[in-house]
Every structure is written in structure tokens, then in C-alpha cells.
Amino acid sequence: MFKRAAHWTYDRAWLLMILTTMLWGGNGVASRLAVGRVTPMSLVFIRWLAVCILLALAFREQIVAHRAELYRHRWRILLMSGFGFTGFTVLFYLSAYYTTAVNITLLQSSIPPMVLAMSIVIVGVRPTVMQIVGMLVTLVGVALIATHGEPLKILQTKFNFGDILVLIACVFYAGYTFSLRNRPALPQLVFFTALAFAALVTSFPFMLGEVATGNFHWPTPSGWLVLIFVALGPSLASQLLYMRAVELIGPNRAGLFSNLVPIFGALFAVLILGEEFHIYHALALAFALTGIWLAEQRAR
């Protein structure tokens, strides 16, 4: 019975992460579609404004009931949201002006090894041999993308500026994922609502900066469609699904499923944006899938 329950927990988490990574993969395409249709900082700020309005209307009573606990953890919530939500999305959408949607999604394969490395260094988690092998295989895939198919020339290769922004964003999200292991003991929806409001607050200065520099313009009609998608999908639904998956199987194993983001992202980019798909992209996808399969063998 215990073994059956464990398999059910794993299968639920697997389904949650499949849905999550599909939305994250679509987010990479949305970031490219947003170029010229909605400015990057307004995309970050308005998406969280929409999410906060929805959450406030739906969970106002629960938020008020837990206000004392939320206030006690206010700085931790602000830091988690500032890096994991605002910092990640600001760099993510800025990178779309310098690199392709395929690269944006494929480089997110670096998140799982980052989470595992943090767990090893900070809390002394002992990874299995297969987790280490899986992490190394994943890093090969990341190197293929970052060096545009020439990993042996990594020391001589100049990184695309957009690729560097994506990798820094991945560091921020890996830190957020790691911090979820010991998040405040609050109901999931209440905690996420607090994170969303913190993201709204921390993204506001970036929005002001965009307006002050004259780079802001109102979204086009298609830009509003992009905004609706990123607000309801990657900002709201995927984050709730991800938090639940972390509760079920922990941050290290949930983070490994981020390797599936490139699969969906690259597929959406080719089908929707008509971007080119090179051989090194296919190799990177193969390494991503192999890495997650190897790392999950012992855990499952």
C-alpha cells in the first residue's frame, strides 16, 4: 500500500510538472511575441497587477485571516518574490530582444543542476550517482546552446547577451526553487498571493524607469493577448502547480522536470514563430531528456 501511495504521489507530481513546463515553454514564445507589441517592463508589471486583482478578489478573507503571519515573514516573501518572480521575469523578457525563443527555453535546462548544487553546498544534501550524471548530461546540453553547437570552443566563444541574461535569470529562479523547501507554513494560495503582491511592488520601479526613459508604449491589441496569456498561464497557473509539485516530491526532483521546458518551448517556437531548428538544438534536447531520465531512476 505504501509503495502504491508513493507511485501515486510521483504520478501526480509528474502530471503537475508536465502542465507547468508546457506553460513555461509557452512563456518563452510569448516573450518573443511581445517584442514590438508590449514593452518588457510593462509586461512584467501588468501581468502581476492582473494576477493580484484576481487573487485579492478570490482570497481576500484568507489573506486577512493570516495577515499577522504574512507580516512576520514579509522580508523573506519580498526576497523570494523579488528574485524568483520579478528578477527572473525582467531578465527573461529583456533577453527576448537579443536571442531566440528556442535559446530562451533551452537554456532553462540549467535550473535543475543549479538547484542541486545549492542543495549540496548549502544544506549538505547527498546526491545519488545518477543525479550527478544526469546533472552533467544536462550541462552538456546547456553548453551546446550557449556556444551555438561548439562546446569545445567555450573559452573562446562570446556569449550572446540575451543568453547571458537568461542564465542569470535561471540563477534567480533556482534560488527561489531552493527556498521553497522551507517556505513559511502558510496555506499555498495565501503564500502565493503574498508572493504575487511582492512581485507587483518590486516590479513597479522597473515600470517607472521604462516610463521615465521614454521606452514605454501601450500594448497593441495582440500585445494585450500576450499579457492575458502570461498572466493566467505562466504567472498564475504554472506557479501554483509548481509549488504543489515541490510539496509532493521536493525541490531537487521537481526542478529536474525543468528539463522538459526546452521540449515544449522549442516545439512552440518552431510551430508558432517559424524559427529555425538546428542540429545542435536537437542534440541539446536529447541531452536534456537523457539527464532527467538518468537522475529520476533511483528517485522513482
Q: What is the pLDDT of residue 80?
A: 93
Helices marked H in 185-270: 188-212, 221-230, 238-256, 261-268
**Number of other residues whose CB lies within 10 A of the CB of residue 196:** 25
- Judge contact between 268 and 136, C-beta under 8 A: no
Q: What is the pLDDT of residue 142?
A: 65
Confidence of residue 206 (pLDDT cuts 50, 70, 90): very high
Q: What is the pLDDT of residue 97?
A: 81
Grid cell of 223 as nine digits? 500585445
Mean pLDDT of 90-107: 77
Give the pLDDT confidence of 56-82 residue by residue, as tens digits: 988 888 889 998 999 999 999 999 999
What is the C-alpha separation between 275 and 62, in angstroms, rounded?
45
* Residue 180 clears pLDDT 90, i.e. is over it: no
What is the C-alpha separation between 217 and 36, in angstroms, rounded?
9
Confidence of residue 212 (pLDDT cuts 50, 70, 90): very high
Mean pLDDT of 255-283: 74
* Residue 37 clears pLDDT 70, i.e. is over it: yes
Confidence of residue 159 (pLDDT cuts 50, 70, 90): low
What is the C-alpha separation between 284 and 263, in angstroms, rounded?
10
- Judge contact between 268 and 26, C-beta under 8 A: yes
Computed over every residue of the chain, the mean pLDDT equals 80
Give the pLDDT confidence of 216-231 residue by residue, as tens digits: 888 999 999 999 999 9
Tracing cell 493580484 back to the chain, one arrives at 52
Mean pLDDT of 183-188: 84
Higher pLDDT, residue 142 or 171: 171
Q: What is the pLDDT of residue 1?
A: 43
Mean pLDDT of 253-278: 74
Mean pLDDT of 242-266: 75
Grid cell of 274 as nine digits? 517559424
Q: Which of 208, 114, 118 is nearest to 167 (CA)?
A: 114
Specify burial of residue 271 (Cβ count, 10 A radius: 0-12, 13-18, 19+). Answer: exposed
Q: Which of 221, 5, 176, 179 is nearest to 86 (CA)?
A: 176
What is the C-alpha separation between 196 and 187, in angstroms, rounded?
14
- Judge contact between 167 and 146, C-beta under 8 A: yes
Q: What is the pLDDT of residue 299?
A: 52
* Residue 156 clears pLDDT 60, i.e. is over it: no
CA distances from 82 to 86, 194, 200, 241, 252 (A): 5, 12, 9, 20, 21
What predicted TM-score, i.e. pTM, was given to this entire model? 0.77
What is the C-alpha separation between 47 and 226, in angstroms, rounded?
10
* Residue 45 clears pLDDT 90, i.e. is over it: yes
Q: What is the pLDDT of residue 238?
A: 87
Q: What is the pLDDT of residue 145?
A: 64
- Judge contact between 195 and 80, C-beta under 8 A: yes
Confidence of residue 5 (pLDDT cuts 50, 70, 90): very low
